[in-house]
Amino acid sequence: MSKRVNQQPLVYFDNGATTQKPQSVIDAQSDFYCSSNANVHRATHQLASVATTKFEQARVQVQKFINATQTKEIIWTKGCTEGINLVAQSWGKSHLNPKDVIVLSYAEHHANIVPWQIIAEQTGAEIKVLPLSSQGIISKEVLTHIISERTKIVCVNHVSNVIGKVNPIESVITRAKEVGAKTLIDGAQAIANIIVDVQALDCDFYVFSAHKMYGPTGIGVLYGKEEILNAMPPYQSGGEMINKVSFSGTSFQSLPYKFEAGTPNIAGVIAFAKAIEFISQYQLNDRHEYKQELLEYAFKRLQTIPSIEFIVEGKPDIPLFSFTLKYHYQDVASYLDLSGVAARVGGHCAMPLFEYIGIKGCIRLSLAPYNTYDEIDFVVDKLTALVSKTDEIIQRNNVNENDN
């Protein structure tokens, strides 16, 4: 990357927060505004027809990308957060009753906690939380105990944004089915890193955001099984989502439009299609292997930093590393920033996880296929120098104090 930050070449290790965008995505977004900007679905003029075709083609691409059975199961949202809110408010409000149970895990992002807390408050449902193993993934042993006949929905991440490991969601889904509960999988961190097949998983809902998979911000997907989406009331209402409006009564569009009120993020959807092309290419070729090699290399090199402590045992499944050093993570972040390194530190929108682990926060480095071995070496050397130099200064001060 040619960009410089603090007079240093940028090392972008914050891909878990959002990825950088390939030129094809940037071009698709600006081309749309330059040459085919029009609203979708409404008008019969040529420009609107082109925009609508591209917009709906993108839906087909997403459908194929996650192997959904039909395009009507692909609902455009603003992102993961909106997808979860949609399910919580629409499915939750119409299905949850007092004493029903919503099951989450301790490793959820706030986006997969707070919407459930709000709907639990509104309906009288209760929230139960799945504990984690020392490896930081959902413990399979407790599934039968926590997911019980009272459970109505289980909402867990495929890969946590702090732990970076694939959860045993197949076992979670199997157990949920045994008790007739629905499942929602938060795929925010998984979607750019592992192949997702919603039919094979047989989950009821799967949510993700385009911006974490090389696409634009402000656009994402809620996948839902057709019969479940059909039985859900609209989430938001207005134009686009209606069939007929009159003061004697209004009827709604069929799927997926029933859940897409108002003018959508058309440019975002069209550019997202380019991100899917980009990601589909590298998931099937040697770029994917390269990413795995980067993961192995980074894990090995990071372990050489004095005082490093990974927040859970074992190697992550995606190139995302969370650890502490003996300095406050905020100080480490400022030091890295001065060296041109973009890292994320703090509670990572997962406060309950940090409470569960018993620490306040951590440093997270998350990599993508455009990162390099040299960048890993650079960051490891910087962190090693930080720890070693500070140790040296402390030792020198101790000697001076003793001399006095």
The catalytic residue positions are: 349
Q: Compute the least distance from the CB of residue 166 to ligand PMP, in Å.
A: 12
* Cα separation, 336 vs 342, whole angstroms: 7
Least CB distance from residue 79 to ligand PMP, whole Å?
3
Q: In terms of CB distance, is 187 or 369 closer to ligand PMP?
A: 187
Q: Encoding tokens for residue 147?
A: 């997911």
Query: Measured from the CB atom, is 81 or 339 closer to ligand PMP?
Result: 81
Least distance between ligand PMP and beta carbon 80 (Å) = 4
Binding to ligand PMP by CB under 6 A, coded x per residue (else -) over 331-360, reads ------------------x-----------
What secondary structure does DSSP assign to 330-382, as a single string?
A: HHHHHHHHHTTEE-EEE-TT-HHHHHHHT-S-EEEEE--TT--HHHHHHHHHH
* Distance in angstroms (rounded) separating the CA atoms of residues 268 and 218: 7
Phi/psi of residue 211, each to 5°?
-70, -15
- 189 counts as binding ligand PMP under rule CB under 6 A: yes
- Please, are residues 212 and 180 in contact by the beta-carbon 8 Å criterion? no
CA distance 5 to 337: 8
- Our CB check for ligand PMP shows the closer of 209 and 265 to be 209
- The sign of the dihedral angle between the CA atoms of 386, 332, 158, 144 is positive
* Interacting residue with ligand PMP among 81, 89, 105, 123 (CB under 6 A): 81
Q: How far apart are CA 14 and CA 341, in angstroms?
A: 9
Residues 98-137 contacting ligand PMP, CB under 6 A: 109, 111-112
Chain centre distance of CA 2: 27
Q: Choose one: 37-45, 78-86, 248-256, 372-380; the region binding ligand PMP (CB under 6 A).
A: 78-86
**Please, are residues 342 and 10 in contact by the beta-carbon 8 Å criterion?**
yes
- Which of 161, 193, 322, 339 touches ligand PMP by CB under 6 A? 161
Q: Which string of DSSP letters, residue by residue, matches 103-141?
A: EEETT--GGGTHHHHHHHHHHT-EEEEE-B-TTSSB-GG
Strands 182-186 and 205-209: parallel
Of 14, 73, 100, 186, which lies in the binding site for ligand PMP, with binding defined by CB under 6 A? 186
- For ligand PMP, the binding residue among 125, 188, 276, 362 (CB under 6 A) is 188
Cβ of residue 109: shortest distance to ligand PMP, in angstroms?
A: 3
Specify the amino acid at residue 167. Answer: N
Query: Coil, strand, or helix at residue 10?
Result: coil
Whichever of 36 and 189 has its CB closer to ligand PMP, that residue is 189
Q: Which is nearer to ligand PMP, 155 or 176 (CB)?
A: 155
Cβ closest to ligand PMP, residue 88 vs residue 383: 88
CA nearest neighbour of 369 among 271, 277, 289:
289
Applying CB under 6 A, among 36, 105, 151, 157 the residue interacting with ligand PMP is 157
d(CA 105, CA 167): 10
By C-beta, is 19 or 209 nearer to ligand PMP?
209
C-alpha–C-alpha distance, residues 191 and 65, integer Å: 10
Q: Of 29, 63, 123, 209, which one interacts with ligand PMP (CB under 6 A)?
A: 209
**For ligand PMP, which stretch binds (CB under 6 A), given 77-85, 309-317, 331-339, 364-372?**
77-85
Among 79, 164, 316, 340, binds ligand PMP (CB under 6 A): 79
Listed ranges 30-38, 40-48, 75-83, 128-136: which one lies at the site for ligand PMP (CB under 6 A):
75-83
Return residues touching ligand PMP (CB under 6 A): 79-81, 109, 111-112, 157, 161, 186, 188-189, 209, 349
